[in-house]
Chains A and B, each alone.
Chain A
Amino acid sequence: MSIDTKTAGRVAKLARIAVPEAELPKLADELNGILAFMEQLNEVDVDGVEPMTSVTPQRLKRREDVVTDGSQQEAVLANAPDAREGFFAVPKVVE
């Protein structure tokens, strides 16, 4: 599989990273180099092998579905680039 500039542009879009048009060919090259390296995985016979979901056999713990924390509006907003009237402020999202 190989990535052309159009695919590189689509990946950048999906990743929400602005990549100038002129840099897409270089990005495609780099991604292709890395993907070529990954192609080695096709040599491995993985028939009947379970994909790993957890490296340790322990089951994820469950807890009671109750509120354990909260009322920290000030702390939550303290690092926001733009917080107003107790909310995160962002550019207009809906028309």
Chain B
Amino acid sequence: MAELSKLTIADARDGMRKGDFTSAEITRDCLAEIEGAGTLNAFVHNTPEIALAQAEAADARINEGDAPSMCGVPLGIKDLFATKGVDTQAASDILKGFKPEYESTITQQLWDAGSVMLGKLNMDQFAMGSSNETSCYGDVVNPWKIDDRNLTPGGSSGGSASAVAADLCLAATGTDTGGSIRQPAAFVGITGLKPTYGRCSRRGVVAFASSLDQAGPMTKSVRDAAIMLEAMSGHDPKDSTSSELAVPNFEAALTGDIRGKKIGIPAEYRLDGMPQEIEDLWSQGIAMMKDAGAEIVDISLPHTKYALPAYYVVAPAEASSNLARYDGVRFGHRAKLAQGDGITEMYEKTRAEGFGPEVQRRVMIGTYVLSAGFYDAYYNRARKVRTLIKKDFEDVFATGVDAILTPATPSAAFGLGEMADADPVQMYLNDVFTVTVNLAGLPGIAVPAGLDKQGLPLGLQLIGRPWEEADLLNHAYALEQAAGFVAKPEKWW
């Protein structure tokens, strides 16, 4: 039974219902794969006892009939999700040893649907990073490899990306504040969906930038993303920004028929110095959508250029406020104090020891842009630019555009450590195609679409209208079918 961890959610569901295999068998196979994949450093807290107990319960439920689609499906959970009694530390030393007394709404919904928790997944510390090199657990390694170089799986959901691509689990949860689901999905050749802001509850997801954060599925196919999104979605009275809109059956929307749909191609996403391969992939994607019967229209999103700088004001500002709670009093790390140290020294030493360098940097940037005298110049201006960025999209959708097609990332996966000497802004450019979507609160999906000449996966992004994930997923399904991406990393780990 060495192949069960490779299953998609859809095939696992159908096979379990037919009695071809059990959840316990898939779960044991995944646990064995995780055991053998230590070098990838994707799973950081394994929960085999919980997994086997949940799998047994899922099998009983499936035998009784009428089990939901996610029943018995073994998942990896990003370390950002609070899981009751299981280490949850957002890949930061400041939450070392933290075992939540409560469960995040999303994971609770997944367990209620019968899913199985294999363990917690590595990530960039507090979801701040684009290469999974800011984690207190160490770097995550991409299962795709060239020569002897270890590559980044992207970030911040790098552990989720690596684990799904390496078939350690069937799917994983991710979170996306500026591209943290879509960029890593593209770097490892899997599907990653960021839903509309408010589609999934943020309750129990460690906060980074509350007006931008949104969780979503990272899966082996578009169909799986549809199935898993449905289980993750829905109103939560404990998250006042979660939507009360009904959750549709996303899988039922997957017809692959996009004839007559209008696909927008934004001129501003054609960057100077963009690698030819990204340009070519985008052109191929446009051709695929056209062949599928869609109408291609040139569009303009004039404020695109200002999305990243606006993001790097808004996100750190919110982070500096959210992360104020890590003070060494109620949970997590507290620094050892010297004779005579007071409460201020306790805060300062605790936060200096507990937060990694990138987190410290962003908290301080956020503190600066919110401080007296600079609030208007930076924070308010960025929020105004954000209004304009959202309006760009509204204007385009008002002309009848159904979805927007762009590259997912400006490059393929790069080597771990290669950006170590670059200034922080260079790393931020990874999110250039994804960050607009967070600022506008829209749904976006990365779909693997091809390999570059080195043999590394590249992804395309589709952006949809707010709350129309069903339609977006159908566009992605059509793209997936046309691209026919089936490549897998060769197992070396």
Contacts and interface: CB of A to CB of B under 8 A. Distances in A.
B45 interface: no
Given A37-B309, A81-B332, A90-B346, A11 B368 contact: yes
B378 to A, nearest CB: 6
Interface string B22-48: 000000000000000000000000000
Interface string A4-17: 00001001111111
B388 A33 contact: no
B49 interface: no
Contact of B365 (A34, A42, A63): A34
B423 A30 contact: yes
A82 interface: yes
Given A18-B349, A41-B309, A56 B198 contact: yes
B343 A93 contact: yes
B368 A31 contact: yes
A80 B365 contact: no
B371 interface: yes
B424 interface: yes
Interface in B330-367: 330-334, 337, 341-349, 351-352, 355, 360-361, 363-365, 367
Contacts, number: 171
A75 B312 contact: no
Contact of A55 (B303, B330, B378, B390): B390
Interface stretch (B253-261, B379-387, B456-464): B379-387
Interface in A1-55: 1, 3, 8, 11-19, 27, 30-31, 33-35, 37-44, 46, 49-55
Given A17-B360, A52-B390, A56-B466, A91 B337 contact: yes
Majority secondary structure, B binding face: helix
Contact of B351 (A16, A38, A72): A16
Contacts of A80: 329-331
Interface in B411-445: 423-425, 428, 439-441
A3 B368 contact: yes
A69 B54 CA distance: 28
B74 interface: no
B365 A79 contact: no
Contacts of B466: 56
B313 interface: yes
B398 interface: no
A30 B368 CA distance: 13
B8 to A, nearest CB: 32
B348 A18 contact: yes
A81 B329 CA distance: 7
Contact of B440 (A17, A43, A55): A55
Given A41-B309, A44-B303, A55 B211 contact: yes
Interface residues of B, number: 75
Contact of B367 (A1, A14, A53): A14
Contact of B348 (A16, A38, A43, A60): A16
A75 B101 contact: yes
Contacts of B481: none
Contacts of B240: 60-61
A71 interface: no
B331 A37 contact: no
A84 interface: no
A4 B290 CA distance: 54
Nearest to B378: A38
Nearest to A40: B309
A16 B384 contact: no
Contacts of B102: 75
B386 A52 contact: yes
B1 interface: no
A79 B332 contact: yes
B328 interface: yes
Nearest to A17: B351
14 contacts: A14-B371, A16-B351, A30-B424, A33-B425, A34-B424, A38-B313, A38-B369, A44-B303, A44-B381, A56-B197, A78-B101, A79-B101, A80-B331, A82-B334
Given A16-B344, A44-B303, A79-B332, 19 more contacts: A13-B348, A15-B320, A16-B327, A17-B351, A33-B425, A41-B309, A41-B310, A41-B382, A49-B388, A50-B384, A50-B387, A55-B441, A56-B241, A75-B102, A78-B99, A79-B97, A81-B328, A81-B332, A91-B345
Interface of A: 1, 3, 8, 11-19, 27, 30-31, 33-35, 37-44, 46, 49-56, 58, 60-61, 63, 72, 75-76, 78-82, 88, 90-93
Which 3 A-B pairs have CB atoms at the shortest separation, nearest pair first? A55-B441, A51-B383, A81-B334
